[in-house]
Amino acid sequence: MGHRYPVRMNRRLFLSSVAMLTVTAPAVSLARTLSGSLPWEPMASDPPVQVLPGGWQFFTPQEAALIEAIVDRLVPHDELSIGGKEAGCAVYIDRQLTGAFGTSSRLYTQGPFLPGLPTQGYQGEANPAQRYRAGLAAIDAFLKQRDGKAFADLKPEDQDAFLTAMEGGKVELPNGVKAAEFFGLLLQNTMEGFFADPVYGGNKDMASWRMLGFPGARYDYRDHVGKHNQPYPLPPVSIAGRPEWLGKGT
């Protein structure tokens, strides 16, 4: 019996779909035949690369000012922690948008693109990078039209009122940008940045982990399992260690 479905994909397409899978990896994983022993070679592991602040890789300066002002309202500076801007949430989002997340390269992006039911999830054609570009421009245009000001120049309570209206879908943004949907994306990514390991550019000095009492990457709690209802005594540690470990002379 022959194939019922002829294969229609050339080598270039196949390789690109494999490459998309391993965007964090230094090399594309290629087909291998293994037999006779467990394959192992030194230095084959694939650690994350520390995001360094400074400069924008995706955002324009105008977009960066807007996104920094937004993340600083979603995660405001108060007695519990530093704010989202100082924590690096905007830097985190900037770097994510230049990678696999921003381009949806791991997702199913073939058409046709049809409006779906809520149970069918996001069905839009735009990837997150495109949604940020359009969404930030729409916010800026809307506020300049309404208030004659940029978001960053509004008073904090007016910023909060605008974000609340976006969250509830009560703002008609230009160019067909759906306010509630874009707000959901902003909120999701801001929280990712604030709570992820600092290696990704947000959560500076493990600010959110100190706030919660999450010890981070420690990996062994055997001596505390039986200590019910007792605070865990040690401070957090990240994949990259602790700031104290990186001080001068150490």
Question: Which of 187, 205, 235, 242 contacts another protein by CB under 8 A?
Answer: 187
d(CA 64, CA 124): 25
d(CA 67, CA 186): 9
Contact segment (CB under 8 A) with another protein among 54-62, 75-83, 135-143, 170-178 equals: 75-83
Contact segment (CB under 8 A) with another protein among 1-9, 61-69, 128-136, 168-176 equals: 1-9
11 or 155: CB nearest another protein:
11
d(CA 173, CA 162): 11
d(CA 144, CA 151): 8
Tell the smallest beta-carbon distance from residue 56 to another protein (Å).
Answer: 20
Q: How far is CA 70 from CA 47, 67, 141, in A?
A: 31, 5, 15
Residues paired with residue 183 on neighbouring β-strands, in sequence order: none
Question: Which of 153, 213, 234, 243 contacts another protein by CB under 8 A?
Answer: 213
Instruction: Give the largest Cα separation in the chain, rounded.
Output: 71
d(CA 94, CA 185): 13
CB–CB of 28/18 below 8 Å? yes
d(CA 19, CA 99): 12
135 lies in the site for another protein, by CB under 8 A:
no
- Residue 23 is encoded by which pair of tokens? 């965007």
234 lies in the site for another protein, by CB under 8 A:
no
d(CA 133, CA 130): 5
Tell the smallest beta-carbon distance from residue 155 to another protein (Å).
Answer: 15
Contact segment (CB under 8 A) with another protein among 51-59, 69-77, 134-142, 144-152 equals: 69-77
CB–CB of 69/166 below 8 Å? no
63 or 72: CB nearest another protein:
72
59 or 101: CB nearest another protein:
101
33 or 145: CB nearest another protein:
33
Contact segment (CB under 8 A) with another protein among 136-144, 145-153, 170-178, 217-225 equals: 217-225
26 lies in the site for another protein, by CB under 8 A:
no
Contact segment (CB under 8 A) with another protein among 55-63, 128-136, 160-168, 242-250 equals: 160-168
Tell the smallest beta-carbon distance from residue 119 to another protein (Å).
Answer: 4
144 lies in the site for another protein, by CB under 8 A:
no
Tell the smallest beta-carbon distance from residue 148 to another protein (Å).
Answer: 25
The count of other CB atoms within 10 Å of the CB of residue 98 is 14
